[in-house]
């Protein structure tokens, strides 16, 4: 995997991963929209969104990994980059009281919000922890399913993230990731305007091939692209049109 040598981009990417996932860091088109309508456009049902505490009902994702994961009662689920907890809470309803969900986020503010939402919703099978997705604070072979929603694209070393996901999965465990990738190398014109257009993640965005290669480099040998398509929010921007793909991927250990 090609490593980024520009130290400015390195710092920018790290800051992006740790930034609280609030409206101030999202594309203008998303901030201006209806949160419920946006969630539904990603594959969430209105019933799902309304089933969680109000403070967790806003998603900043690019897909719905819960719809793909086929979670079962009693499983242990890890949510990488949990934000306010939407996917973690939906997973908790799937795995039931005998299951367990761990939400991880690099931003302490996001974890504080997620914990408040858990208390408001009286979730007893969900725990939230501060941590980075490339150094998971979990033991080997400790979870059944890893999910993530539009977070790994912020990581500088995506292969390191997937190695960690592979490490904590039990034998036979699965990973379901919804994320954004590019259709190829981004032109300099787009990169020069990265902060203005789509925040810092464009500086470390991977194209589709490189992203899938990073999953393989992480140890996964069974990799399936479950769905993909041009990301509507990017299509609204003339510089990004046709360049950003929302991809849903399954990896099995």
Q: Is residue 2 part of a domain?
A: no
- Residue indicated by tokens 């070393």: 157
Q: What is the pLDDT of residues 11-60, one digit of tens each?
A: 333 334 444 444 333 443 344 457 888 899 899 999 999 999 988 988 88
Does residue 76 belong to any structural domain of this protein? yes
The CATH number for 181's domain is: 3.40.50.150
Tell me whether residue 171 is in a domain: yes
Q: Cα(44)–Cα(214) distance, rounded to whole angstroms?
A: 27
Tokens of 132: 């980075």
Under 8 Å between Cβ of 60 and 87:
no
Q: What is the pLDDT of residue 196?
A: 67
Q: Residue 142: inside a domain, yes or no?
A: yes
- Judge whether 47 lies within some domain: yes
**164 part of a folded domain:** yes
**Whole-number pLDDT of residue 26:** 44
Q: Which of 209, 146, 202, 210 is nearest to 178 (CA)?
A: 146
Is position 1 within any domain? no
Residue range(s) defining the domain that contains residue 18:
7-252
d(CA 131, CA 135): 7
C-alpha distances (whole Å) from 236 to each of 30, 36, 51, 189 are: 10, 19, 30, 17
- For residue 109, the model assigns a pLDDT of 96
* Low-confidence residues of the chain: pLDDT under 50: 1-32
Instruction: Report yes or no on 84 lying in a domain.
Output: yes
Can you read off the two tokens belonging to residue 207? 């194209």
For the CA atoms of 7, 190, 162, 249, what is the dihedral angle to 10 degrees? Answer: 180
Please, is 181 exposed, middle or buried when counting C-beta atoms within 10 Å of its C-beta (0-12, 13-18, 19+)? buried
Q: How many domains does the chain have?
A: 1
């Amino acid at each position: 995997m090609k490593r980024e040598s520009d130290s400015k981009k390195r710092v920018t990417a790290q800051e992006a991963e740790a930034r609280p996932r609030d409206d101030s860091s999202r594309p203008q088109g998303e901030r201006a929209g209806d949160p419920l309508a946006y969630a539904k456009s990603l594959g969430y049902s209105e019933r799902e969104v309304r089933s969680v505490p109000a403070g967790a009902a806003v998603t900043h994702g690019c897909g719905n990994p819960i719809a793909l994961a086929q979670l079962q009662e009693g499983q242990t689920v890890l949510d990488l980059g949990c934000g306010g907890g939407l996917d973690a809470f939906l997973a908790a309803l799937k795995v039931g009281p005998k299951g367990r969900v761990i939400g991880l986020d690099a931003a302490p503010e996001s974890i504080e919000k997620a914990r408040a939402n858990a208390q408001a919703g009286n979730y007893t099978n969900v725990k939230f922890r501060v941590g980075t997705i490339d150094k998971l604070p979990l033991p080997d072979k400790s979870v059944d399913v890893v999910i993530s929603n539009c977070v790994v694209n912020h990581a500088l070393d995506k292969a390191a993230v997937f190695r960690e996901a592979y490490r904590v999965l039990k034998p036979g465990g699965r990973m379901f990731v919804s994320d954004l990738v590019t259709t190829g190398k981004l032109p300099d014109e787009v990169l020069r305007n990265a902060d203005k257009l789509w925040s810092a993640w464009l500086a470390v965005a991977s194209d589709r091939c490189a992203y899938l290669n990073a999953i393989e480099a992480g140890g996964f040998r069974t990799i399936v692209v479950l769905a993909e398509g041009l990301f509507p929010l990017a299509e609204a921007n003339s510089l990004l049109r046709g360049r950003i793909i929302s991809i849903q991927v399954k990896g099995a250990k």
